Structure formats: structure tokens, C-alpha cells
Amino acid sequence: MKKYIVLGVLLLLLAIFSNTSYEQQTLIPLLQTLLPTQPFIGFLSQFEITYWNRLISVERSGYYHFLEFLIRKGTHFSFFGIIGVVIYYVLRKRPFAPLIAIAAVFILGSLDEFRQSFSPDRTGTIKDVYIDTTGAFFFVSIAWVIYKTNKLRKKKQP
């Protein structure tokens, strides 16, 4: 029962975040307060990312916008990866549970981005769905290996 509650809470959080405007979610004021000296600016300045046909870098976007971009995309990867693991955990005794969990995250990510495409200050993009699905693949793969390893260890014990 707990696993269903955890999944429900995660899906509720997804719905809340998805319905929150960028201005309500922006991390820039917090980053400016917490990181006034702009640590790692030299390191971060080495990177340029093309996203949504825009070049994103410290030089073009500024330190705080670039850092926020990395945090937001990392959150996509991790949050949907965690959702994938919980779905896998719910289904783990069924055939193809890892694939079903990853497919479910793809569908959830697609629905999330579709919904965001109707929000005036948000952009729904397939690239975020790719990030979401990659996160699910990564996290579910690790969970699957751990599950199978533990199962094999239990079989070997007398």
C-alpha cells in the first residue's frame, strides 16, 4: 500500500509543478542569495548547450540563468527517474516491468509537456520528454540490477 501512496504523492507533485508558472518556480533569486560569489563560474563557462534552438551558456545567459537551467534539467532527469523506479517497484514481479515503467514515464512526460505547451510562460518540448525518459531508463536500470542482484544472493544462501 505504501508504494501506491508514494506514487500518488509523486504524481500529485508533478501536477502541482506542471501547473506552476516559471515566475513562481524560478530559482534565480535564491541562487543569487546563496551564491553571490558565483562559485565554479570558470568551470561552468566552458560549457555551451543548444536547447530549444537556443545556445545556453554562462556567457550568453549569465551565470544564474545557466545554473538554473542545469538544475531544472537535472531535476527533470532525477524526478522522472524516481517516478520510474516507483512504477517499476509497483510492477516489479510482472513481466517486462522495467520496460513498462520507462514507457509510463514517457507517457507522463509527454502529457506534462503537452499541458505546459498551453501555459503562456512555459514551453512544452519533446527534449524534456527525452530527458525524463532517459532519467527513467537510468534509474530503473539501476533498480533492476539491484533487485536482480539481491534475488540471486537470496537464492545462493542456504
Is 12 a domain residue?
no
Q: Cα(41)–Cα(56) distance, rounded to whole angstroms?
A: 14
Structural domains of the chain, count:
1
Report pLDDT for 141: 98
Cβ atoms within 10 Å, residue 135 = 26
CA 49, distance to chain mean position in Å, is 17
Within a domain: 88 = yes
Instruction: Give the domain extent around 114.
Output: 2-6+80-156
Rounded distance between C-alpha atoms, residue 69 and residue 88, angstroms: 28
In a domain, 122, yes or no: yes
Residue 109 is assigned to a structural domain of this protein: yes
pLDDT at residue 122 in the model: 78
Question: 107 vs 83, 101, 113, 137, CA distance in Å?
Answer: 12, 10, 10, 13
Residue 97 falls inside a structural domain: yes
Q: Is residue 105 part of a domain?
A: yes
* 8 Å CB contact between 87 and 133: no
Tell me which residues of the chain have a pLDDT lower than 70.
158
Note whether residue 114 is domain-resident: yes
pTM over 0.85: yes
Confirm if 135 and 84 have CB atoms less than 8 A apart.
Answer: yes
Residue given cell 509510463 in the structure block = 104
